[in-house]
Amino acid sequence: MTEAAVYSLVAGIFVGFAAGYVGSLMVLKRMALVGDALSHVALPGLALGILFNFNPFLGAFAFLFAAAILTWYIEKTTRLFPESIIGVLFVTALAVGILLTPEVDLLEALFGDITTVTLVDALLAVGISVPIVVVSRLVYQRVVLSILSEELARSTGVNVALINFIYLFLVTVVVAVGIKLVGTVLVGALVVVPAAAMKNVSRSLSSYALLSGLTGIASAGSGILLADYLRLPAGPLVVTVGTAIFAGALVAGWIASRK
């Protein structure tokens, strides 16, 4: 294994768990496609990082964060659903990002490149993923309660607007760190596929969240190892492994429901 592949694997394990864990909330909120679309908003930020020679992660994070705040604010103050808001942001950001990104770097921005992952990237991924999981765990019950019934959540003192903001912030950060590994096009799948798979086989909320995180590790880890072995891009392989797990979980859930 190359040094870059080892760093990628370490980053993949931590980001995979964080993405799966946060993704389990996205799937419950029925925002799977929103997460996918949101990830594309990072492209102009990546492009600016490449053009002006600063860490593209910071550019991606800044754009994602701005998009998340805009989405949260519009959702809070209008009757628009997040899908509509992010749908508009997504196409605009993608168009601007493709126009800005130098052609030579476009493929890496869209699909990631594990051969360029450095020790700093790996440490950044670990250092960000751990707090993401910790904060997610702290707000998990309140997010789920607000999904079940916003009124019930508010009646128990949950600040639903604040909780939604924290949740969107977590999504933003996990998407930003995942982009280095699998690119802007596929990072949405890193977040959504593990949770979509485990919802088929989970019998309780705690097992669902944990299994989603572990499936994220399995997808990212296996995908990166396969990419290193086959000399293929990691992003598509991570998503392919995740999809295979999803298919297996779907069958397992179907068999369990017939017993």
Partner 1 sequence: MVVVPPPSRSPTRDTGAAADVLRVANLGVRLDHIPILEDVSFHVRRGTTLAIVGPNGAGKTTLFRVLLGLVPHTGTVEWSGPVRIGYVPQNFVVTDVPITVRDFLGFKSEAGFEESLAAVGLGGAVLPKRLDVLSGGEMQRVLIAWAVLDRPNVLLFDEPTATVDIGSEDMLYESLNRLEKDTNITVFLITHDIHIASRYSDAVLALNRTVRFFGAPSRLSEPDLLMEIFGSGSGLAEHKHDFGARGFR
- The binding site for partner 1 (CB under 8 A) comprises 28, 141-142, 144-145, 147-149, 151-152, 154-156, 199, 202-208
Closest to 245 measured CA to CA, from 195, 205, 210? 195
3-state secondary structure of 165: helix
Segments in 101-203 forming alpha helices (H): 103-111, 119-148, 150-155, 160-198
- Of 153 and 218, nearer to partner 1 (C-beta) is 153
Nearest approach, Cβ of 208 to partner 1 (angstroms)? 5
- Of 30 and 248, nearer to partner 1 (C-beta) is 30
CA distance 33 to 144: 18
Tell which phi-psi region holds residue 233, choosing left (phi > 0), alpha (psi between -120 and 50) or beta: beta
CA distance 172 to 68: 7
Nearest approach, Cβ of 157 to partner 1 (angstroms)? 10
Nearest approach, Cβ of 156 to partner 1 (angstroms)? 7
- Of 103 and 151, nearer to partner 1 (C-beta) is 151
Nearest approach, Cβ of 245 to partner 1 (angstroms)? 17
Nearest approach, Cβ of 199 to partner 1 (angstroms)? 6
Sign of the alpha-carbon torsion through 91, 96, 97, 99? positive
* 225 close to 168: Cβ distance less than 8 angstroms: no
In the 8-state DSSP scheme, what is residue 231?
T
- Of 215 and 222, nearer to partner 1 (C-beta) is 215
- Of 96 and 214, nearer to partner 1 (C-beta) is 214
Nearest approach, Cβ of 28 to partner 1 (angstroms)? 6
> What is the identity of the amino acid at 40?
H
- Of 152 and 162, nearer to partner 1 (C-beta) is 152
